[in-house]
Amino acid sequence: MTKPVSDAAAAKAFHRLVAHLQHRHDAQNIDLMGLAGFCRNCLADWVMEAGADEGTVMTRDEAREMIHGMPMEQWKKLYQSEATPQQLEKMKTSVAKNKAAG
């Protein structure tokens, strides 16, 4: 069995993922949802939930700003494009797979 990494190593990898997503504006949230079943907003929700488990109160907007590197509305105006019907269908399929997996 593989030895688990430390919490510090996991946190470092998480911060690297966030920095990567902040740099890759071309990776649309809808495409991330369609391919991986999660997006920046999901990641922000997970941060907010994990923080609450640890006693840290954070709003959804604060969590999303942390992940996007700017307020969500600003990010959307600068980088989010209109979703195509194909992207929406792929996202729906991916979400259904997530629900089926539990």
Q: Residue 20 and residue 17: Cα distance in Å, rounded?
A: 5
According to DSSP H, which parts of the chain are helical? 7-23, 29-36, 40-53, 60-68, 72-79, 85-101
The reply to whether CATH 3.30.70.1060 applies to domain 17-101 is no
Question: What's the pLDDT score for residue 96?
Answer: 85
Segment 31-46 shows an average pLDDT of 94
Q: Are 76 and 64 in contact (CB under 8 A)?
A: no
CA–CA distance, 61 with 41 (Å, rounded to integer) = 10
Q: Percent of the chain beyond pLDDT 90?
A: 83
Residue 22 in this model has a pLDDT that exceeds 80: yes
Cα–Cα distance list, 92 to 3, 43, 66 (Å)? 36, 18, 26
Asked if 35 and 94 touch (Cβ cutoff 8 Å), the reply is: yes
pTM (2 decimals)? 0.86
pLDDT of 1 higher than 80: no
